[in-house]
């Protein structure tokens, strides 16, 4: 067993047999989360019977780009379409202009990273993934698509996408918005501009990037609602190459270091099928709302969830439908 401490949570990383053999709710264990990496799903039934959720470690949020910007927006709920119109009006009245970069150069990347640094510095639990990957990004500038937003000549927003022609996919990697522009929903405009540019380059799928399958720890549950409202669906990240992530069994033992409620995205059922047209077959997913007590406050996004939602009180193995 290895104990990792991350964002105030004690995480036990164990083998499958140890996961099954120990009583993790014994206070002597003193852990918040238990995880076991899975080479395959052969012991899924045993793990689920012991209270573990069997799940992909990460999920990728995907949506068809459709054949036009109008068709893409027509898929969105009316409230989200109103948000886009509001964002466009706010940008116009504020003198904000969007620019799709023909290519992303070294200086473009460095300017974006400075903006991203400032955004992460203002987050309580922010992790600067973009700065950690700076060298990799510099080596692969030719694979990037950039959309930058300017006001009075200053960079106030940007997003970087990864063009993946083998999968006919644009995957948004990083985005940042200056504090003064955040209330104007500028990120929505940048995303749509990136999708339009990717469509013109022949892409048929869009991705809002990868998230850990437990939301409420290093990433927050609100991400689920934001991406669902934009018409995206989570799929196991390993559904698409490169298959750099896999499956795990996870047990949340206590909620002291997690958001209330948190959200865990786990496998649902045993029959594989393509989650979206054109994708390889994979197991379907469900969202499990985790809370320390019954009947937590229902998140506003819940009715828009693209996958089934169940509830679980931490410490109990049974789930209930929302």
Would you give per-residue pLDDT tens digits along the chain (322 residues)?
899 998 889 999 999 999 999 999 999 999 999 999 999 999 999 999 999 999 999 999 999 999 999 999 998 888 889 988 998 998 999 899 999 999 999 999 999 999 999 999 988 767 899 999 999 999 999 999 999 999 999 999 999 999 999 999 999 999 999 987 777 689 989 999 999 999 999 999 999 999 999 999 888 888 899 899 899 999 999 998 877 789 999 999 999 999 989 999 999 999 999 888 888 899 999 999 999 888 777 788 787 899 999 999 997 656 666 5
Contacts of 153 (CB under 8 A, 6+ apart): none
Q: Is 116 helix (H, G, I), strand (E, B) or coil?
A: helix
Query: Residue 211: is it exposed, middle or buried by C-beta count within 10 angstroms (0-12/13-18/19+)?
Result: buried
pLDDT at 276: 85
pLDDT at 317: 59
pLDDT at 304: 83
Q: In this structure, are strands 309-313 and 285-291 parallel, antiparallel, or unpaired?
A: parallel
Mean pLDDT of the chain: 92
Q: What is the DSSP letter of 241?
A: S
Of 302, 293, 155, the residue nearest 222 (C-alpha): 302
Give all domains of the chain, ordered by start, each with its CATH number: 2-60+212-221+235-321 (no CATH), 66-203 (3.40.630.30)
pLDDT at 119: 93
CB 300 within 8 A of CB 307: no
pLDDT at 13: 97
pLDDT at 322: 59
Kindly report the pTM of this predicted structure: 0.90
User: How far, in Å, CA of 247 to CA of 22, rounded?
Assistant: 21
């Amino acid at each position: 067993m290895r104990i990792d401490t991350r964002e105030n949570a004690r995480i036990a990383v164990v083998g499958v047999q140890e996961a099954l053999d120990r009583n993790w709710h014994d206070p002597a264990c003193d852990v918040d989360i238990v995880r076991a990496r899975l080479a395959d799903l052969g012991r899924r039934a045993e793990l689920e019977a012991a209270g573990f959720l069997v799940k992909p470690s990460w999920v990728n949020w995907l949506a068809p780009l459709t054949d036009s910007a109008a068709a893409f927006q027509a898929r969105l709920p009316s409230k989200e379409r109103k948000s886009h119109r509001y964002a466009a009006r706010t940008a116009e009245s504020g003198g904000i202009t969007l620019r799709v970069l023909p290519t992303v150069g070294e200086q473009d990347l460095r300017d974006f990273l400075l903006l991203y640094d400032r955004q992460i510095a203002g987050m309580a639990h922010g992790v600067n993934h973009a700065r950690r990957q700076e060298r990799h990004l510099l080596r692969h500038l030719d694979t990037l698509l950039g959309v930058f937003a300017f006001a009075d000549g200053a960079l106030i927003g940007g997003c970087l996408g990864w063009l993946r022609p083998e999968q006919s996919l644009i995957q948004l990697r990083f985005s940042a918005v200056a504090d003064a522009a955040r209330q104007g929903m500028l990120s929505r405009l940048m995303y749509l501009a990136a999708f339009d540019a990717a469509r013109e380059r022949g892409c048929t799928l869009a991705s809002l990037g990868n998230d850990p399958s437990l939301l409420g720890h290093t990433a927050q549950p609100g991400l689920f609602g934001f991406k669902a409202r934009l018409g995206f669906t989570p799929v196991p990240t390993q559904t698409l190459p490169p298959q750099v992530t896999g499956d795990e069994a996870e047990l949340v033992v206590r909620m002291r270091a997690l958001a209330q409620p948190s959200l865990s995205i786990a496998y649902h059922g045993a029959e594989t099928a393509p989650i979206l047209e054109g994708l390889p077959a994979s197991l379907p997913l469900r969202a499990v709302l985790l809370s320390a007590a019954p009947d937590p406050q229902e998140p506003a996004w819940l009715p828009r969830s693209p996958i089934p939602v169940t509830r679980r009180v931490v410490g109990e193995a049974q789930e209930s439908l929302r």
